[in-house]
């Protein structure tokens, strides 16, 4: 698939399509497209699968865009300041993503709900119990907030992360939650009571500005509607 990611902070993904190529995204995710691209909106796998996607931050309905001729194009814009991450997934390869990270993908890619197996990670993971599982083959695109740092963890290597900064990780990476040691650290350290522990082997993508952090910083400046 021929594509280009344009911009620096509020990025745009432009994809060139050949006849028969198709991509899908959540409802309302398309920015612009050429004339001979057809739209088909459906639940992408059935109502129950669509409801599951809603819990992972996506819409009930997904829209598929298919090219009728060679040389068609379509564009998708990031919903917030950050970076667009591309993964060319092989058959059966899985990527686990934070809630609402999925942007768009080739029609051969499957997007489903991923439930964290460990109660600790589900209860205190910062982004909730439900994540997203994206399975190849095909090109998949994700939108993460702020700058992106990629790390390759060795077998058994562990990185402790503020949970909201976890963007994506390969299926081979184990994610759990550990409690911050020390009462003063827990209540006055500013990092919360829990940290995510990511253990290799595998690749992880970390985001510098989780949306919940950005919202917290902006909240004092937003109008409350009062006089």
Q: What is the pLDDT of residue 125?
A: 44
What φ, ψ does residue 192 adopt, rounded to 5°? 85, -175
Q: Name which of 93-107, 117-131, 140-154, 211-225 the model is least confident about.
A: 117-131
Residue 88: pLDDT band with limits 50, 70, 90: very high
pLDDT band at 16 (very low <50, low <70, confident <90, very high): very high
Does residue 128 register a pLDDT over 70? Answer: no
What residues contact residue 131 under an 8 Å CB cut-off, 6+ apart?
A: 56, 96, 97, 98, 99, 113, 114, 115, 116
pLDDT per residue as tens digits for the range 31-64: 999 999 999 987 665 555 555 555 545 555 789 9
Residue 102 phi, psi dihedral angles, 5° rounding: -60, 135
Average confidence (pLDDT) over 103-109:
95
Query: What pLDDT does residue 145 have?
Result: 93
Q: What is the pLDDT of residue 165?
A: 92
Please report the pLDDT score of residue 189 as a whole number.
Answer: 43
Higher pLDDT pick, 164 / 192: 164
- Please give the backbone phi and psi of residue 71, each rounded to the nearest 5 degrees, phi first: 80, 15
Q: Indicate if the pLDDT at residue 123 is higher than 70.
A: no
Which pLDDT score is estimated for 41? 87
pLDDT of residue 188: 42
14 compared with 125, residue with greater pLDDT: 14
Is the preceding omega at residue 201 within 30 degrees of 0, hence cis?
A: yes
In 21-81 the beta strands, taken as DSSP E runs, fall at 22-26, 30-33, 37-42, 62-67, 72-77
Multiple choice CATH, 2-220, 3.30.56.10, 3.60.160.10, 3.50.50.60, 3.40.1400.10: 3.60.160.10
Confidence category of residue 156, pLDDT binned at 50, 70, 90: very high
Share the mean pLDDT of the chain: 82
pLDDT score recorded for residue 113: 82
Domain ranges of the chain: 2-220
* pLDDT tens digits, one per residue of 215-225: 777 777 776 55
Task: State the pLDDT confidence band at 100, using cuts at 50, 70 and 90.
Answer: confident
């Amino acid at each position: 698939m021929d594509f280009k990611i344009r911009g620096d902070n509020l990025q745009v993904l432009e994809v060139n399509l050949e006849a028969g190529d198709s991509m899908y995204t959540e409802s309302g995710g398309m920015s612009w497209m050429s004339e001979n691209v057809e739209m088909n909106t459906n639940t992408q796998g059935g109502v129950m699968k669509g409801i599951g996607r809603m819990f992972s931050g996506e819409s009930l309905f997904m829209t598929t865009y298919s090219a009728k001729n060679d040389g068609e194009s379509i564009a998708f814009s990031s919903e917030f300041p950050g970076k667009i991450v591309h993964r060319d997934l092989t058959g059966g390869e899985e990527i686990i993503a934070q809630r609402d990270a999925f942007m768009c993908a080739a029609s051969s890619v499957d997007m489903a709900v991923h439930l964290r197996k460990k109660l600790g990670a589900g209860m205190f993971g910062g982004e909730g119990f439900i994540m997203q599982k994206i399975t190849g083959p095909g090109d998949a695109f994700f939108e993460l907030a702020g700058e992106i740092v990629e790390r390759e963890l060795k077998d058994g290597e562990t990185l402790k992360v503020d949970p909201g900064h976890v963007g994506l990780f390969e299926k081979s990476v184990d994610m759990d939650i550990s409690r911050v040691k020390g009462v003063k650290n827990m209540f006055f350290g500013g990092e919360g009571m829990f940290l995510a522990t990511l253990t290799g082997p595998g690749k992880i993508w970390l985001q510098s500005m989780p949306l919940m952090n950005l919202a917290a910083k902006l909240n004092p400046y937003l109008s409350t509607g009062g006089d």
